[in-house]
Amino acid sequence: MEKKIKISKEAKKNTQRIISYLTNEWSEAVADKFIQRLENKLNYISLFPNSYPSFDKFNNVRKCVLSKQISLYYKIKNEEIEVLTLFDTRQDPDKLSSLL
């Protein structure tokens, strides 16, 4: 059964930051490709929420790799999926703990 996707404020902010960076530093086509990949992953997660592994430090949080640089973290709740954040893997990993 398909679950509703809820995007946190943190995830929205990070998504906009990533799209802005891709548009300014690469191209609008690269940003569009990222948006399409994100939408495809979110659709897949809504249908198969348990398909991605639990994140080591937080057993109730799952990690979906969008690209070599970006991972999406989410929680499965009763009838919805909450996207917690999109995280640039080149950042300090300790920063991730404060976002989850």
Query: Over the stretch 73-90, which tens digit does the pLDDT of each residue have?
Result: 999 998 899 999 999 888
Confidence of residue 100 (pLDDT cuts 50, 70, 90): confident
Q: What's the CA gap between 11 and 63, in Å, rounded?
A: 13
pLDDT at site 72: 97
Q: For the chain, what is the domain count?
A: 1
What CATH number did the domain enclosing 82 receive?
Answer: 3.30.2310.20
Note the pLDDT tens digit of each residue in 5-46: 999 999 999 999 999 999 999 999 999 999 999 999 999 999
Q: How many CA atoms lie within 13 A of 31 on its CB side?
A: 14
The better pLDDT of the pair 92, 81 is held by 81
Residues 6+ apart with CB under 8 A from 33: none
pLDDT at site 82: 97
Give the domain range for residue 12: 4-99
- Whether the predicted pLDDT of 96 surpasses 80: no
**3-class secondary-structure state, position 57:** coil
What is the DSSP secondary structure assignment for residue 89, as one 8-state letter?
T
H or E element, residue 28: helix 28-47
**pTM (2 d.p.):** 0.90
